[in-house]
Amino acid sequence: MSEGRLHLRAISERGSFITLEGGEGAGKSTQIGHLLVNLREAGIEAIGTREPGGSPGAEILRKVLLSGSVARLGPAAEAILFSAARIDHIDKTIKPALAAGTFVVSDRFADSTRAYQGARGQLDPRFLRALERITLDDVRPDLTLILDLPVAEGLARAAARRRAGEAPDRFEREDLPFHESLRAAFLSIAAAEPRRCIVIDAAGAEEEVAQAIFEAVSNRLIVPAVVKQVRHG
């Protein structure tokens, strides 16, 4: 361990909660791998998790949600089921890790419900806001990184990643206007909540994007914590 290595667990009782959001194939899973390595190298305990899923109960719901069989129940039922999975994820994985002082990095979270289930404009925004309030309770991300890239590029990446014979999932099968509306929705969330969200240009090379992400995390979460530590001894 280098001399400058910091143990943020000693600084704060609670860990920080980071979410990565964006459209299909934006590179979230790839970048979470890099971010976890970078955080751990900086001496910060961190776990990676994902939605839908991230806890045994929520992983069961993930299979159902991505199969597309819930879609026929309509967007409200789909939003409720994503939220049910989220409640289990929060209770079983996110809250205990944060309470232990661990950083939690989640591949998607509540902004995905806002963007995906809100994409066609079929749901009353008040319904989505109420559902989010009930689901999250007091668990809100400290930082959300929105990975942005042209829709065609993201879909091409997602298609290239699929194994031979593997079918696109329920959301990858949606049309281009749907995916364009997702991109716009994520950018509008970022514009509305600049203290929480940072837009990352995800079109660059993997390592460049990883660097931009770690800089953002350092500037928003790590440097302020270090300054606080120095001030308070």
**Cα–Cα distance for residue pair 168/160, rounded to 1 Å:** 11
Phi then psi for residue 103, to 5 deg, are -75, 140
Q: Closest Cα partner for 154 from 62, 29, 51, 32?
A: 29
- In sequence order, which residues have a C-beta less than 8 Å from that of residue 219 and are 6 or more positions away? none
Question: Which segment (90-98, 113-121, 135-143, 211-219) binds ligand T5A by CB under 6 A?
Answer: 113-121
Q: Is 148 in the site for ligand T5A (CB under 6 A)?
A: no
Q: Is 16 in the site for ligand T5A (CB under 6 A)?
A: no
Helix axes 28-41, 206-217, angle to 10 degrees: 50
Q: Which is nearer to ligand T5A, 167 or 205 (CB)?
A: 205
Q: Is 141 in the site for ligand T5A (CB under 6 A)?
A: no
- In sequence order, which residues have a C-beta less than 8 Å from that of residue 124 and are 6 or more positions away? none
Q: Closest Cα partner for 196 from 223, 180, 216?
A: 216
Q: Closest Cα partner for 32 from 107, 141, 94?
A: 107
Among residues 17, 103, 116, 186, the one that binds ligand T5A under rule CB under 6 A: 116
Q: Is 112 in the site for ligand T5A (CB under 6 A)?
A: yes
Smallest gap from Cβ 73 to ligand T5A, in A, equals 14
- Beta strands in the chain, from DSSP E residues, in sequence order: 17-22, 46-50, 103-107, 143-148, 197-201
Smallest gap from Cβ 4 to ligand T5A, in A, equals 29
Binding mask 176-215 toward ligand T5A (x if CB under 6 A, else -) reads: -----------------------------xx--x------
Q: Which is nearer to ligand T5A, 58 or 222 (CB)?
A: 58
Binding mask 38-77 toward ligand T5A (x if CB under 6 A, else -) reads: ------------xxx-------------x-----------
Size of the site for ligand T5A (CB under 6 A): 28
The secondary structure of 16-30 as a DSSP string is: -EEEEEESTTSSHHH
Under the rule (CB under 6 A), what is the footprint of ligand T5A?
Answer: 22, 24-30, 50-52, 66, 82, 107-108, 112-113, 116-117, 157-158, 160-161, 169, 171, 205-206, 209
